[in-house]
Amino acid sequence: MPLDPVVGQRAAAVVLHGAVAVCAAASLGRAWLARGASDWAAVRVRRLGRWAVAGAILALLAQGVVLWLQAAVMADVPPAEAAGAIRDVLVHSRYGIDWSVGAAALAAALALACLRGTRPLALAPLCVFWYARCLNSHAAEQGDVSLLMIVYVTHLGLISLWVGEVLVAGLAVLADGRGGPDDARTERITYVQALSDSATLALAGIFATGTYLAWHILSGPGDLVADPYGRTLLAKLACVGLAAAMGGYNRFYVMPALPVPGAAGAAAALRLRRVLRWEGGVLLAALALAAVLASSAPPGSGT
């Protein structure tokens, strides 16, 4: 069965945005952990450096797959026959220009991720990438620079940071270590607090920007059930709500037990990691639904 380019694009977009999210969160996590003086923090700074580089490389590969499948769509040919159309897409279409800007931004993020002392700067080219991605969606219906575009880019960036922070925390920073010396435990708790605060701020921004976008896109509550776009949006909101509940559980029920020495603190650390991994899976589902929304026609668009 031949690959459906549209379905393939959505799958590649999930990988692309997931990889970018990991690169962004790993870069930010390196900045948080670089303040620590323990071996625990130093090991994780190096580990997050590798995660940031791997995320940027995977994002560049996924960006190439997205271009290949877009060329197949625009040339109306099977993906296996789309190689000859890639140059035309890059040179003769607005999509090609926006794609090139995004690819250059990812390359810059990769270069910064490979350097020491520039960790937070990796977020700057990723902001350019998020902007370039939004240029190829209905976010640009009011122009390349508009309030709508700013809200879309902010929404996408905040979701990416939240997804990436949860994944990186559960799979890299807190993946192996429950106890350790007092300085390591203190720095781990400081990291978890920074993670929780950042996720809370991101969730507040996601709620604010998402409310504006829903008001702009939907004509009324009926669109949430009567239109495929609205039903997909509802599913995404359910995932975000579930992930937020998991984060709230960690913040208010698990984190207070982390400073307790001995078995109680170790059990809390293990529970925190488990919940983070489940939360990461739910957020990946939300990211997949967001990819479907980005390539779907909003209600009333007539397309």
Query: What domains can you pick out in the chain, each with its CATH number?
Result: 5-294 (1.20.1630)
- Looking at residue 2, what is its pLDDT? 65
What confidence score (pLDDT) does residue 263 get? 82
pLDDT the model gives residue 106: 97
Nearest to 187 by CA among 27, 42, 293, 289: 42
pLDDT of residue 44: 92
Q: What is the pLDDT of residue 284?
A: 92
**Residue labelled with tokens 């950042």:** 198
Residues of the chain with pLDDT under 70: 1-2, 117-119, 177-183, 300-303
Encoding tokens for residue 145?
């620079």
Is the distance from CB of 162 to CB of 203 less than 8 angstroms? yes
116: CB partners within 8 A, 6+ apart? none
Q: Which of 23, 265, 54 is nearest to 167 (CA)?
A: 23
Please enumerate in sequence order all residues whose Cβ is within 8 A of that of 144, keeping only pairs 6 or more positions apart, or say none. Answer: 135
Angle between helices 94-113 and 83-92 (to 10 degrees): 100
